[in-house]
Each structure stands twice: as structure tokens, then as C-alpha cells.
Structure 1
């Protein structure tokens, strides 16, 4: 994939709004905790020219390969570290970085993972039920489906997917796996659709959407990782630096809201989450559920 093609398949969500709050400046250092295909990072580097720099984290090897090619023109102003953003303390310590001027997270799936990953994130294609953002991990969606008890599956679907039909779906999965292994997206979609009575099929989303969301969150420990960086990331912010977080569902947004509110060293800049404009949603339908919350590190009182 060329740099130009990476730009075509990737549209950064709430880009202008993030740059407004982050306010990148020359000579300063920023962290993009979710590099993806590099859209937000590119904007930060452009706005902080000629000598601002970005430290970008991502644990998706394929995303890093494509983003690195897209952003190679920025040279040493960009440092990419293959790790989850939850390990920010380790990453920055290894680079000798003690503080930063801004931190950005976009915790949604990237276009690469949905459209080109071939890793089971989307139910639109027949793929293996992988769902690992980092292929070094051992747990896959297929392994959870194969090993989890019926109660464990129901809990995953209910708590991580807010799926009201969690119990019948879990029961159907356990019954089906006694007859054959469940290893593909198509198999899982068929089981979920058959387990949920037609009258309970949602009108605005696919019947399997929440189950896939729940499995992805469980495989990657997404909520635990988000909670961790919301605590540890603040420690690296210089006074006056901003922390921008884009989330895509209520579980994530709720964690961000609570963590920001409970941290006395932060001043909340967005009392309500910033949402995409109608124009942005028209140009990029995947942005429709995005929510941006921003907080600023307080200056110490004299």
C-alpha cells in the first residue's frame, strides 16, 4: 500500500476538533497513542513544523508498516513504538521522555482493520475469528468461543456489548460448538441471527454487531487498557497540556468521563462530548458514533 492509498482508505475522525484542543506548536512533543494509518499524527506534525515531534504508539504491525511509509517524509520528528498505549510509561521511559505537551487517543477500529485486515473484525466478510489487534497475543475470538463457559460468554456479550440477548446467544454457541468448531465470522453471524428472535433484531445495526464488539473488547483487553492510560498518561502531561480521547461507544465514553472527572489534576474542557458535524458524518459514516472528550493538565498552585 502506498502513502496515497493509505490516505484514501483512512479518514481521521474529528480531526479539526482534535487539532483545535491539542493546538500543536513548534518545538513541542506530542503522543499519539493510537497511530493507526497516521492521519492524526500527520496533522500534528504539520501543525508543529518545523521541529515539533510525535511519539506514536500502536500494537498493530500492519498499521505501523503502512503509517511508517505514509509518514516517512517527517524523518526523525516521528518515533513509532510497537506497543499498546497502556504501556506508555514503559515506552516513554525507554526513550528518556519525562513529559509531553499533549496526548491523543482514537480508540475506534481503523479502516485498515475493518476493510483490509482479514482478521475477523468485520462480519461483512467470511474470515477467521481472530480479532487480535496485536498478533503476538495468544487469545483470539475463536479461542474464547471454543473455551468459555456459557455463563462466561453471556457475561462477555452483556457487559462488553450491552447485548440484551446475551443468554440465548451464549446458549446457541455452546450447543453449536458441540457439533462443530466455530472458527469463522460467517458461522458466528449465522448462530447469532438464529438465536435472536426476529422481533428483537435491531433496526439500525446488524444483529451481530454487539457480539462482535464484545468479543473484540475481550480479546484485546480494551477497557482495561483505556482505564490504565487515563491514569498513567496524565502523569506525563506538562501543566497546560491537553488530553484528547475519541471513543465510539458508551462503555468507553463512560470510562473517559469518570476518569477525567475524578482526577483532580485535570480541568475538563468539554462538559459534553464533542460529536461530528453532519457534514463529517456524510463524508465518513463511520464517524457517526464518535465522541471526543478533552481535559487539560492544571498548573500547580503557588
Structure 2
């Protein structure tokens, strides 16, 4: 990662500094196997670290579409006419590429982690470290916040959300206490929520609340739904030989990516009527096992520790 960053001009690095450190940068670029005149998509532009590394590999005919639903990411755009910024969730990838007359691309990259900027900006409500409104919206245009979910979800809905998305050990108990406490006190801020559920916190509090906040964040932003929609668009969008590189940060995401790359579909209804087998996947799995960050990267960027990178290639013929 350090070597790649040193190649970048200072004016390109400045907007990224303090916003987000790109994870598995060298590995991502290697996985894309970039063609100099190709068309590439960075589904999660953020601080622009991955995008700048892609641009370094492109010639003047290459193009990069940078998607990001967080409007704050726009200020990190490099002054480069090869870049087209699309301020949308990557679940709408195909739709907005078609608006730009693009039906096929050479590579797709998605870094699914929350940006350091989002965690570090207290007002966004992503972090357990600051007292702020429980917001957690990546796209400020949407209306539902984490506080809304705590206020409106039923006990059963809260239980399932906490258990499935946060793997919270006492999810059922926590859901019950949330429903009880919200009738007594508002759960609109980080501190109000922490104090209200303090009696049922298990284990190490920071770790426990990190799991709870992960569950809330995934629900607020429909992260798994968006990821599924992205994955389902990949086979049709990639040119033969084109590659998809996905970086995940928890087991729920990684399992979706692993299974889709292997099968090329989420559907169980496409079994061959004659032989009873699934049609051959249009994707070739390049990474039999996920690529993990090395010791140097995890030491320099602690948020990279849970990252896993997987690569798939569109087969020439299926």
C-alpha cells in the first residue's frame, strides 16, 4: 500500500488523507488485471484511493466510473476527465451505466467497508466513541435513521436484526430491554442508547456495542440487499475476461460473495430440467481462498484486520 501511495502526486493524495485509507490496495489492483484502455467501475469511491490507483494503470482512452451514495465523497474527486462520478448506491450500477451508454465493463471493484471518514465524523452516528444522533445513513437523502429503527421495530424484528446482522450473543434479551426502555426514555443519541441498555451488556462493552452498531448500520442502509443486487448484475456487465474484485469486512458479506462467485446466481430454481444440476457459472473464481491483509498493513491500519478480498472473472464462454 505504501509503495502505491508514493507513486501518487501530492495533490491527488491530499483529499484522501484523513478520509479513508484504501484497504488491500496492491492486491485489488493486481486482482483487476487492468487493461490500459479499459472501462472500470469503483463502486465505493470514498476517499478515492482505489480509484487513483486504477487511473494510474489507464491510458488516455481508459475510463473510470466512480459510484458513491455519500455526497461527501464528491470532494475527493481528482481533476481527471477520465472519471465520471455517479452519486448513487451501487445497487443501481447497471441502470446508471446505461445512462452513460455503457453496457459492458472490464472490471468492477467494491470495498464494502465503512469509510474512516464516516466513522470519525461524530455527527454521522456510526461510531460508539462519540455522543451524537443515532443516524448511520450513508446516503443522507434517505429518511430512515438508526434511531427510527430503535423506535419502530417490534421486539421480534429487533431480535432478528441483532442476531443476524450483529451476531449479538444476547440479542433476544437486548431486543426486549430496548422495547421496554424506549417507553421510558428517548433512544435518539449514542449515549442515551448506551445508558438505556447498560444492564444487559455482555463481555467487553466496546466490542459488544460495535456488534450492535454493525447490526443497526446494516439495517439502516440495507447493506446485504444492496450487495446481492450488485452481485447479480456482475455477470451481465463484465466483458469476457473482465474481473470483479470485492472486499468484505464481516462474514455475512463474505459468504454472499463467496457463494455467488462460485454459483453465478442466488437462485435455486435454475436447475437443469434434464440432469437436475445447476447450469455452469458464468464466473471463474480466481481466489480459491480470500486474500487477507499482511502484517504490515494490519499494523498501519487496524481497520483492515477483518478485510477479505475475493476475485472472479467472466468466463470467455459458458
TM-score after normalising by structure 1 = 0.93
Partner of 2:217: 216
User: Which segment drifts farther, 225-234 or 279-288?
Assistant: 225-234
Quote how far apart the aligned CAs of 1:28 are: 0.9
Instruction: Map 1:1-302; keep pairs closer than 5 Å.
Output: 4-9=13-18, 10-64=20-74, 66-68=75-77, 71-72=78-79, 74=80, 76-116=81-121, 118-196=123-201, 200-202=202-204, 206-263=207-264, 264-300=281-317
How far apart in 2 are the matches of 1:5 and 1:44?
Answer: 17
For residue 5 of structure 1, report the CA deviation from its aligned partner: 4.3
Question: How big is each residue's C-alpha offset from its partner over 1:200-255, in whole Å with a ceiling of 9 and x where there is no partner?
Answer: 4148x522011100000001110011011101122110000110000000000000
| 8 Å contact kept, 1:169–1:191 | no
Describe the superposition over 1:60-99 as per-residue Cα deviations: whole angstroms up to 9, x where unpaired: 01122x222xx12x1x200001111010111111110010
8 Å CA contact retained: 1:63, 1:112 = no
Shift of 1:259: 0.7
SS in 2 for 1:131: coil
CA distance in 1, matches of 2:282, 2:231: 12
Kept in 2: contact 1:275–1:292 (CA 8 A): yes
Structure with the higher fraction of residues in helix conformation:
1
Q: Count the aligned residue pairs.
A: 291
C-alpha distance in 1, partners of 2:294/2:221? 30
Decide whether the 8 Å contact of 1:12 with 1:39 is kept in 2. Answer: yes
Classify the secondary structure of the residue corresponding to 1:46: helix
Q: Residue 288 of structure 2 aligns to a residue in which SS?
A: coil
In structure 2, how many angstroms separate the alpha carbons of the residues matched to 1:243 and 1:116? Answer: 30
Q: Could you state the TM-score of these two structures normalised by the residue count of structure 2?
A: 0.88
